[in-house]
Amino acid sequence: MKALLLDYDGTLALVDEEQFAEEYFFLLNLFMVDRYKVALDHFEILDCVARITRCADGTTNNYDRFLKCLSDKFSKFDWKGVFESFYASEEFDKLRKLVKPNEKTIELLRRAKESGLLVVLATNPIFPKSATEKRLRWIGLSLSDFNHATFMENSHFCKPDPRYFLEICKVISVEPKDCLMVGDDDLFDGACTSVGVRYKPVELISKDGKKSLQEWLFE
């Protein structure tokens, strides 16, 4: 084993994803009304997220495809500027109250780093780097805690596309068979097994809490 891949939502962070999404779009709309005097149909944004998930050709990163989709729908906005301003705003910070660190998984991260393993933040790359950095700060981590992290700008695929995992392996120069993915979603995170990456559900960390790192990773 050479690399440990860790999901964010439900794995490194304890969060009700439905509640987070509902509050996210509510706050985004407040921000848009306050700054731009317009309310958006959040289903249009979700449609663009769905498109970058489904229609990846591997040549254009997720952020550029997402922004193009939004620009095609609402051409009068500088969407990159809109989202960068939102993620830097107090409105986005209000979501922090919905997110708690999963101490057991964070401890696994630290033990893996101490043992010399590469550690990857393998969160579904539907947020840009600025939002990913802030979401990590909410649980007491930073990008420097990882050898690699996926976000919109450096990713060309999303989960559950198996190519998402292959892209990570290529970037960190580790074969899929030498990687372990830990996540909370058998569909999205478990898709890694189709390309040879091992998968363990995050709930096993609690059940196997007394095992050594080597026992847990290599069994």
Whole-number pLDDT of residue 32:
92
Q: What is the mean pLDDT of residues 184-203?
A: 96
Under 8 Å between Cβ of 88 and 130: yes
DSSP SS3 for 11: coil
**Residue 199 pLDDT:** 96
pLDDT of 219 strictly over 90 = no
Task: Tell me which amino acid residue 117 is.
Answer: L
Sign of the alpha-carbon dihedral angle for 175, 177, 180, 181:
positive
Every domain of the chain and the residues it spans:
3-15+100-218, 17-96
Q: How confident is the model at residue 117 (pLDDT cuts 50, 70, 90)?
A: very high
Give the percent of the chain with pLDDT over 90. 84
55-64, 73-82, 169-178, 204-213 — which is least confidently predicted?
A: 204-213
Rg (CA), the chain: 18
pLDDT digits (tens, 9 = 90+) for 119-139: 999 999 999 999 999 999 999
Query: How far is CA 207 from its chain centroid?
Result: 24
The per-residue pLDDT for 107 is: 92
Which homologous superfamily does the CATH classification assign to the domain defined by 3-15+100-218? HAD superfamily/HAD-like (3.40.50.1000)
Q: In this prediction, what percent of the chain has a pLDDT beyond 70?
A: 94
Sign, CA dihedral 91-95-81-31, equals negative
What distance in Å separates the CA atoms of residue 162 and residue 168, rounded to the nearest whole number?
Answer: 10
User: pLDDT tens digit string along 64-91?
Assistant: 999 999 999 887 789 999 999 999 999 9
pLDDT number for residue 179: 98
Residue 192: predicted pLDDT: 99
pLDDT of residue 38: 83
Average pLDDT across the chain, whole number: 93
What's the half-sphere exposure (Cβ side, CA atoms, 13 Å) at 86?
24
